[in-house]
Amino acid sequence: MTTLTVLLVGLFPSCLATNYESSYWLLDHSGGSNRLRLTVSVTSSLYEYYHNKDHNLVLYDFAKFVTPSALRPVANSLWSVYGDDEDFVNGVLMLVHQIPYKESAPQKYPVEIVVENEGDCDLLSFVAASIMKAGGLDVVLLYYETQKHMNVGINLAHIPNDARTTVYYFNHNGKRYYVAECTGGNWENGWRVGEGPDKYNGISARVITLENAEKSSPGQVSSSYSALTPSSLGLVLSSIYIIERGPVTMSGLISPAHPNTIVTIYIRTDSSVWNVLERVTSDSNGYYSYTLRLDSADTYYLRASWSGDIDHTGADSDTQTLTVLPVFWLLAWIVGIGLVSLATLIVAMSKRSKTHQGDTDSFTQLSDSTLH
């Protein structure tokens, strides 16, 4: 069986169209010289979304930090290279083994870890579990509470063939989950599925299933073996001032045009972080639009994001500002217009009255002159 290895060239958080990018090389262990370069791109809006999420850990809810949807394009790229689930898992392990180890608190989400390019045992396990689960595997987190350590367990279709030591696993709910150790700086000869450090082998661990993993994400990374072409995304508001509950239409175009794809709209205020407002689908020309109504008077900031695909980087629009005025402003305006109109009418009638009085006085004077 041919074994393939992925080499992480390194993450360079440079901003190209507000994106963070990393590059990976795929090498053939069979002695072939064929190489594939995997480019992964993360929009700043996706990074900020996860950076602003709740990072608190309650009891053992580690599963909430597993985000399969966000990293699914990476899983798809790996499956296009690896032939079975064991090779796929070992490919994932080789990737996370190259993320520099650094103690971190509190926990972080995989997109943050990919962008920041560092993490400890639990963070690296979150990345690995996210990619594996996105790839369709049955995955659990293994938490060694006394040792304060974490790695991953994977239910494979067969016993690992490439393990170089005794194969270790945990039985849970009638299934066998093989250990996958996510730490270690040796990408080429690091731990393979079924292997692990001696100090953790044979000891008990808490099995954390992933029912509570994130079900969907506002966007995804883009992943391709070709150089990703930059894209752009526009955003225009039909008005920058509206009254509470008044409509405003947001619209824009993905360029190059991408039909029937998801555009995520984010919103925040001065006192809040970015939150997902809505996800809309572009039309056949790559155009999208969305009409919203806001209940509370405030200053709002809006932006749109597209995740990209295997050919293009994702893109964020410019941030647009929308001011929502309270209803009493409309009432005050109506009252003000009414008062101005009334005042104008009174002045006009007053002038007309004076003019009429002047005509009467002239007539009286003329009559008196005629009588004398």
- DSSP per residue over 237-267, as a string? ES-SEEETT-EEEEEEEEES--TT-EEEEEE
Residue 312 lies in a domain: yes
Average pLDDT, the chain: 86
Euclidean distance between CA atoms 275 and 259, whole angstroms: 25
CA distances from 213 to 67, 175, 217, 319 (A): 6, 20, 11, 30
Q: Is 301 exposed, middle or buried (0-12, 13-18, 19+ CB in 10 A)?
A: middle
pLDDT for 4:
40
Q: Which of 286, 195, 276 is nearest to 234 (CA)?
A: 286
Residue scoring higher pLDDT (47 or 368): 47
Yes or no: say if 65 and 109 are a contact pair by the CB < 8 Å rule: yes
Q: Does residue 94 surpass a pLDDT of 90?
A: no
Q: Report the side by side order of strands in the sheet with 149-155.
A: 169-172, 175-180, 149-155, 138-144, 206-208
Cβ pair 157, 171 in contact under 8 A: no
Degrees to nearest 5, angle at CA 142 with 141 and 145: 130
Q: Would the pLDDT of 361 be above 60?
A: no
- Is there a single domain that holds both residue 356 and residue 302? no
Task: Single out the residue of 183, 217, 213 nearest to residue 42, CA to CA.
Answer: 217
pLDDT band at 39 (very low <50, low <70, confident <90, very high): confident
Backbone angles phi, psi at 208, to 5 degrees: -110, 110
CA-based nearest residue to 99, from 85, 74, 126, 117: 117
pLDDT at residue 81 tops 70: yes
pLDDT band at 267 (very low <50, low <70, confident <90, very high): very high
Q: By the 8 A CB rule, do 216 and 134 touch? A: no
- Report if residue 215 sits inside a domain: no
Residue 366: its pLDDT value, please? 43
* Token couple for 59: 């009891």
Among 208, 242, 270, the domain boundary falls at 208
How would residue 339 be classed by pLDDT, with cut points 50, 70 and 90? Answer: low
Helix ranges restricted to H, the chain: 44-51, 68-79, 85-96, 110-116, 121-134, 327-371
Q: Looking at the structure, tell me whether residues 14 and 126 fall in a common domain.
A: yes
Shared-domain flag, residues 61 and 192: yes
- Tell me if residue 78 falls in helix, strand or coil: helix
The reply to whether 265 and 362 lie within a common domain is no
User: Is 15 part of a structural domain of the chain?
Assistant: yes
Residue 73 shares a structural domain with residue 107:
yes
Answer yes or no: do 181 and 274 share one domain.
no
d(Cα 152, Cα 171) in Å, to the nearest integer?
13
Mean pLDDT of 35-40: 78
| Residue 314, domain extent | 229-325
Do 165 and 63 share a structural domain?
Answer: yes
Q: pTM for the full model?
A: 0.84
CB 99 within 8 A of CB 86: no
Q: Report the alpha-carbon distance of residue 259 to residue 255 in Å, rounded.
A: 10
- Mapping DSSP to helix (H, G, I), strand (E, B) and coil, where does residue 34 land? coil
In a shared domain, residues 64 and 188: yes
Q: What is the pLDDT of residue 359?
A: 53
User: Residue 27 belongs to a domain with what CATH number?
Assistant: 3.10.620
**Residue 307 in tokens:** 């995740």
223 in a structural domain = no
Q: How many domains does the chain have?
A: 3
Give domain status of residue 349, yes or no: yes
Strands 175-180 and 169-172: antiparallel
The pLDDT of residue 27 is 52
Q: At what angle do helices 68-79 and 85-96 cross, to 10 degrees?
A: 120
Q: Is 192 within 8 Å of 162 (Cβ atoms)?
A: yes
| pLDDT single digits (tens) 346-357 | 766 666 665 555
For residue 183, tell me if it sits in a domain: yes
- CB 323 within 8 Å of CB 254: no
Query: How would you classify residue 286: left for phi > 0, otherwise alpha for psi between -120 and 50, otherwise beta?
Result: left
In a domain, 224, yes or no: no
Residues 321 and 369 placed together within one structural domain of the fold: no
Tokens 């053992």 -> residue: 60
pLDDT at 341 over 70: no
In whole angstroms, give the CA distance from residue 223 to residue 92: 14
Q: Are residues 20 and 163 in the same domain?
A: yes
pLDDT at residue 104, as a whole number: 87
Contact 250, 267 (CB under 8 A): no
pLDDT in the model for residue 17:
44
Can you read off the two tokens belonging to residue 155?
Answer: 């239910």
Q: What is the CATH number of the domain that holds 245?
A: 2.60.40.730
- Assess whether 58 and 157 both reside in one domain: yes
Q: Average pLDDT, stretch 219-226?
A: 93
* Alpha-carbon dihedral 257, 261, 267, 273, rounded to 10 degrees: -110
Q: Which pLDDT score, from 0 to 100, does residue 34 have?
A: 66
Q: What is the pLDDT of residue 226?
A: 87
- 139 and 49 within one domain: yes
- pLDDT tens for 127-172 read 999 999 999 999 999 999 999 999 999 999 999 999 999 999 999 9
